[in-house]
Amino acid sequence: MTTRHVLAGLDGSPQSETAAMWAAAEAQRLGAPLRLLHVWPWLNGENADRAEPGDLRPAALDALARVADRIRLAHPELSVETAVRPDDPVDGLVAEARGQEMLVLGSRGLGGFAGLLVGSVSLAVAARATVPTVLVREAGPLPRASTAAVGDVVVGMDSGEPGEAVLEFAFAEAERRGAGLRAVHGWDPAPAWAFGGVMPPPVDIPGQEGTKAALLSQHLTRQLANYPGVAVVEDVRLGGGAKALLDASAGAELVVIGRRERRHHIGMLLGPVAHAVLHHSTVPVAVVPHL
């Protein structure tokens, strides 16, 4: 049986090193090996006898080894591997992540060696990866190794189509951390138009909110049967999905959002809520693909 790794992409920046440490703690919780990976086109093949002018492979391997040594000191029982891949960063990371437990990236790489994992790269990977992809900010909280009281795992939900894979991932993360789960659904009533402009929507807001809360509870109940030890808070609020998630995530361990899988790469692959959360969240964000 093929071993599933937690995969961390590194580019030599402080943000990617923070992401690697986050990935190490996650791998320990999962009981999975950790693989540190650097992807860049100008790398010699794995069996190259010597470096050529402009080849970045020796520098990449040295940098990966230093991070691996730091991780082994912090997690001596964790299996840590390093690898380089000569490829386009987005294509290479997406390809290496297939079949793994998850992919972890720094969310604001600012250069490193050769500029890997700048914002556009990490966003493109999160939009295409077939496994959960976690983007970690350098200033974000690192996960705790113990199961003592911790911040919530916050999951954004569409009350109509929540995505069972997204919910399952969020429940499993909360269980591993000994954390609570806050399920957030933000919504805005549709505006009404009149001769004088936009009018307040003629809807029963408390009634609609109650309907949405009932749908949310119904979806959560199915997962609660598999994770009875996870304490769940249902959070339905006005203000739109992105604002609701960002407001609810203060002090959280992790924010979980969904991304619908598409068969082609034309047009926007991450919705506006996902974009806003990825750009503005101060805590790690997991993007989970679902049907």
Q: How far apart are CA 30 and CA 53, in angstroms?
A: 41
| pLDDT confidence of residue 191 | 55
Reduced to 3 states, what is the DSSP secondary structure of residue 78? coil
Most confident of 24-38, 96-110, 116-130, 260-274: 24-38
| pLDDT confidence of residue 1 | 56
Burial of residue 221, with CB atoms counted within 10 A of its CB: 0-12 exposed, 13-18 middle, 19 or more buried: exposed
| pLDDT confidence of residue 113 | 43
Same fold, 6-136 and 153-290: yes
Task: Please determine, for residue 228, whether its predicted confidence score (pLDDT) is greater than 50.
Answer: yes
Task: Please determine, for residue 146, whether its predicted confidence score (pLDDT) is greater than 90.
Answer: no
Task: Please determine, for residue 144, whether its predicted confidence score (pLDDT) is greater than 60.
Answer: no
Which CATH code fits 6-136? 3.40.50.620
- pTM reported for the whole predicted model: 0.84
Which pLDDT band, with edges at 50, 70 and 90, does 116 fall under?
A: very low
Which pLDDT band, with edges at 50, 70 and 90, does 222 fall under?
A: confident
For residue range 181-217, what is the model confidence (pLDDT) as tens digits?
A: 999 988 776 655 555 555 555 566 666 667 667 778 8
State whether CATH 3.40.50.12370 applies to domain 153-290: yes
CA dihedral 155, 160, 161, 166 (to 10 degrees): 10
In the chain, where the domains are located = 6-136, 153-290
| pLDDT confidence of residue 195 | 52
For residue range 31-83, what is the model confidence (pLDDT) as tens digits?
A: 999 999 999 887 654 444 454 545 677 888 899 999 999 999 999 999 999 99
- Which pair of structure tokens corresponds to residue 134? 């976690």
List CB contacts of 65: < 8 A, sequence separation 6 or more: 82
Mean pLDDT of the chain: 81
Q: How far apart are CA 51 and CA 220, in angstroms?
A: 54
- Mean pLDDT (whole number) for 100-119: 64
Which pLDDT band, with edges at 50, 70 and 90, does 268 fall under?
A: very low
Which pLDDT band, with edges at 50, 70 and 90, does 271 fall under?
A: confident
| pLDDT confidence of residue 254 | 95
| pLDDT confidence of residue 55 | 62
| pLDDT confidence of residue 193 | 54
DSSP state of 144: P
Q: How far apart are CA 261 and CA 127, in angstroms?
A: 9
For residue range 93-106, what is the model confidence (pLDDT) as tens digits?
A: 999 999 999 999 99
- Mean pLDDT (whole number) for 102-126: 68
| pLDDT confidence of residue 111 | 42
| pLDDT confidence of residue 109 | 42
Reduced to 3 states, what is the DSSP secondary structure of residue 94? helix
